[in-house]
Structure 1
Amino acid sequence: MENREEKIKVIHRITKSSSACLHGDNKSNGNEVFSNHDHIPIDLTREIIMRLPAKSIVRFRCVSKLWWSITTQPNFINSFAIRQSSIPRQNLLITFVEQDNGKKQVFCMLPIHKNSTSYSDVNNFHIIFPPTKVFCGYYTISVNGLITFRTNTEIIIWNPTMREHITFIKPKSSKHARCFLGYDSTENTYKLLLMACSYRKCEKYQKPEILTLGSQESWRVIENSPAQDPKCMYYCINGILYYNAVISFEEDRDDHSILPSLQIMSFDVRSELFKSIQLPGRANQYQDGLMLEESLISYQRKLAWVCYNSKIIKIWVLKDAEKQVWLENEFVLPLPQRDLPEIAWLHGATSTGEFIYVSGNAPKDISTFYYDPVRETIRSVKGIEYEQFRRCYGSNDNFVSSLSLHAFPDHIENLMSLKHIMCSPSV
């Protein structure tokens, strides 16, 4: 660590000299005068800084005005996020939510590639606390490093890297609406989409509303949107929001009851257009004596529909959204290791294609399991013992037993500050 800090100091000293030369000042603050061959070009300095962890970049902003200027430029922040998205994740962000009221929540970074056989001390992990007074008992995701929360009247966007959050007032008509955060990398634009839930055939459909972050505009109603009842789970992949929704209610021919028709909906963040996608397949309720769960996931930067249990994974990967072309595959977990804990839920996949299982509501430990369908292997990474976690962060003796775990496989570090984003009024 000391060697790394010393290197940073040298880079700063030489960069400072380069900066002085750029401004026509050949004097140095100390007794050292650097020759031309010692000068590090600004572009190279920028590239070196970009390879540092986000935490170090934020800390080193106070080193000099030059470094502050480099690391706060929008182009640098965008390039850093793009680089973060292109490299394999080193850590998995998970959150522990107290199920009873959803008011207590703790985020933790667990290593992905470390094959550990024993539990680590809780103090060795990067623990992050979200903004207070937010309701966390619902499914959410990380979109380009930003995480959303909601209350009945507000939406909170949180950047855990910068320890900043911003609050938006919901439109009065959308108290119980689903809230989706979308990001368009082409225009570097974030948008909040509100979708009313619990639509029924006999009810009047409430049109979606949208807000562009930083535009200083109010919520806008999206016209010509299909009637739909959106579900909580969603993903933002390459500028497109994907989520499950009931978009029509069909009448059963036998008993004339109303049956929901579940489909996948897509929403283009830039054009603000909705499209429906037929589900590629539905699984039988049980297989190998175990119930199959169904879910959307992000699989190697593509949308995927999975049916799974602890012994099998059926997956359909969306290859062409326009033509609705899916690639189907099925994986049987290796026989010697196929018995994952019954409480382990599939939470998506790593950037290298490993399926991520996270143990939830366990009485003893917090662990993650990674299944590689190519090598047909399962590896486990032991994390934190529940008892130690409860002693450090639990509010009472029942905290552990009421925990629910959520994972954020696509989370990246984002250096964008939320301070410049104006909170827009409600409609």
Structure 2
Amino acid sequence: MASFPIDVLVEIFLWLSVKPLVRFRCVCKSWNSLLTSPFFIKAYLERSIKLHKFDLLKYDFNNISRVQIHYSPKNELSNLNTSFIKDGEKFKLVGSCNGIACLSSFNGEIPHHSKIFLWNPSTGENITLPQPSHHVSNLVGFGFNPLSGHPDDFSIVNMNIYFEQHSNYTSQVEVYSFRRNCWKQLGNIFPPPLTRHIGNQVIFKNFICWCPCFYLDGELVAFLILFNVGQDDFQKIALPDIMPLGEKVISLLEGCLSVIAHNSSTENFEVWIMKEFGICKSWIKLYTTGVSTGRLLSYRPVGFANSGEVFFIHTFYMGLRFKSPSHLAPYNIQSEKFEEFNVEVDWYDTTQLVTCLESLISLSSTNNVKH
């Protein structure tokens, strides 16, 4: 193998999954140097976008949090080891970028026991972030600054809200930089009006994006809220008036920000995308799903899988107080049918679905691509 030209060796390595590449580091010093070089790590990420994508599915069952890899289109699951999180400690999957996932645990009774973790599911490597000045909130965002040129330029946003009289509140926002290994306090910059619940997040370019829906003075309000990782500030983007006012889940589709919106008048779900980022008039409705929800039968969207399927949580209500167990239900857009997927979950709000890449980015301070 020593006679192989370096460009041929690189091309071979780029087609392989992470597990053999990690083993190959032990073959010789030259292979270790190549496979841990910033050049190869970036090249592997670019190839992973086409070859090495998978879905991370996080849910709670029997009051225990777990994360599994979802393989499309067979709808198979494979367990992942999250033993680095204390046994019995519930957590949520904040997001994933460049193959690194962010997890957070929130302990409402003992807030200072809450923690944030970064984790590479492909290698199993993980770290626990240092504690911020204010305790880890249940409002945590995870993003990346692609403008820096470094594939590990991650930022974690911790947003604490302190409610006062007359429904007023102040906020304390802090941002952790992975490359600098420190927290920076941004102060009271969380945009009003918002609540303690802003829904799921997606990462789009250098923005962490949410689509909170809540009632304000008796009316349902929804808009996009974005945190610019490069500039450490928030901005709001209005949604078009023609979009349904019902509950929304933000996602990515066809390289654009998308929203799965519940139309309360038809009880169907509509999929919208913003063709030009930041331009309200560029929102278009792609299609309406054949899924409908009612008083006895409830469907709530989780998000898009890598295959394009929409994952819903299905619950059947038997009277006012009783309901059947909730199940994850993948909906095939082409066939307009649900597929077999016997996965039971405790609750909708504890379920997240994100697309992840295989990645060689290391979370170790000694092996990282920082420079």
Distance 2:129 2:119 in 1: 11
Distance 2:229 2:275 in 1: 19
Q: Does 1:369 align with 2:330?
A: yes
Q: Does 1:238 align with 2:198?
A: no
Among 144, 164, 182, the residue aligned to 1:217: 182
Deviates more, 1:56-65 or 1:361-370: 361-370
Q: Does 1:140 align with 2:94?
A: yes
Distance 1:241 1:99 in 2: 31
Among 154, 161, 184, the residue aligned to 2:122: 161
| Counterparts of residues 23-38 of structure 1 (less than 5 Å) | none
Distance 2:40 2:29 in 1: 15
Q: CA deviation at 1:360?
A: 7.7
Deviates more, 1:43-52 or 1:357-366: 357-366
Distance 2:327 2:33 in 1: 41
- SS of 2:94's equivalent in the other structure is coil
Q: CA deviation at 1:409?
A: 3.8
Structure 2 equivalent of residue 392 of structure 1: none
- Tell me which protein shows more strand as a share of its residues: 2
Give the 3 Å change call, closer, same or farther, for CA 110–211 of structure 1 in structure 2: closer
Q: Does 1:316 align with 2:272?
A: yes
Structure 1 equivalent of residue 320 of structure 2: none
Distance 1:414 1:68 in 2: 16
Among 72, 80, 98, the residue aligned to 1:128: 80
Query: What is the RMSD computed on CA atoms of the aligned residues?
Result: 3.9
Q: CA deviation at 1:167?
A: 1.3
- SS of 2:134's equivalent in the other structure is helix
Deviates more, 1:125-134 or 1:345-354: 345-354
Distance 2:353 2:252 in 1: 11
Listed one character per residue, the Cα deviations across residues 236-281 of structure 1 (whole Å, up to 9, x for unaligned) are 111211113589x97x5xxxxx878543211111122321111234
% identical equivalent positions: 18
Among 349, 357, 382, the residue aligned to 2:304: 349
Listed one character per residue, the Cα deviations across residues 359-390 of structure 1 (whole Å, up to 9, x for unaligned) are 68998997652422xx454362x45x66xxxx
Give the 3 Å change call, closer, same or farther, for CA 333–406 of structure 1 in structure 2: same
Listed one character per residue, the Cα deviations across residues 51-73 of structure 1 (whole Å, up to 9, x for unaligned) are 10112222222222222211111
Contact between 2:93 and 2:102, CA under 8 Å: does it hold in 1? no
Q: CA deviation at 1:191?
A: 0.6
Q: CA deviation at 1:139?
A: 5.8
Q: CA deviation at 1:143?
A: 2.7
Contact between 1:210 and 1:222, CA under 8 Å: does it hold in 2? no
Give the 3 Å change call, closer, same or farther, for CA 245–174 of structure 1 in structure 2: farther
Q: Does 1:108 align with 2:72?
A: no
- SS of 1:133's equivalent in the other structure is coil
Paired letter, 1:160: P
Give the 3 Å change call, closer, same or farther, for CA 244–329 of structure 1 in structure 2: closer
| Counterparts of residues 211-290 of structure 1 (less than 5 Å) | 211-221=176-186, 226-229=191-194, 231-245=198-212, 261-281=221-241
Listed one character per residue, the Cα deviations across residues 118-151 of structure 1 (whole Å, up to 9, x for unaligned) are xx7xxxx531121222843546322332232234
Structure 1 equivalent of residue 256 of structure 2: 302
Distance 1:65 1:166 in 2: 26
Q: Is there any run of 5+ residues in structure 1 with no aligned partner, and where?
A: 1-13, 19-39, 253-257, 286-291, 387-399, 423-427
Among 126, 132, 136, the residue aligned to 1:171: 132
Give the 3 Å change call, closer, same or farther, for CA 348–243 of structure 1 in structure 2: same
Distance 1:293 1:111 in 2: 28
Larger Cα-atom Rg: 1
Q: CA deviation at 1:45?
A: 0.5
Listed one character per residue, the Cα deviations across residues 305-334 of structure 1 (whole Å, up to 9, x for unaligned) are 222489733122122233333322263445
- Tell me which protein shows more helix as a share of its residues: 1
Distance 2:220 2:260 in 1: 20
Structure 1 equivalent of residue 319 of structure 2: none
Paired letter, 1:208: V
Q: CA deviation at 1:190?
A: 0.4
Among 70, 73, 79, the residue aligned to 2:43: 79
Distance 1:205 1:365 in 2: 36
- SS of 1:229's equivalent in the other structure is coil
Q: Is there any run of 5+ residues in structure 2 with no aligned partner, and where?
A: 317-322
Distance 2:222 2:91 in 1: 23
Q: CA deviation at 1:203?
A: 3.7
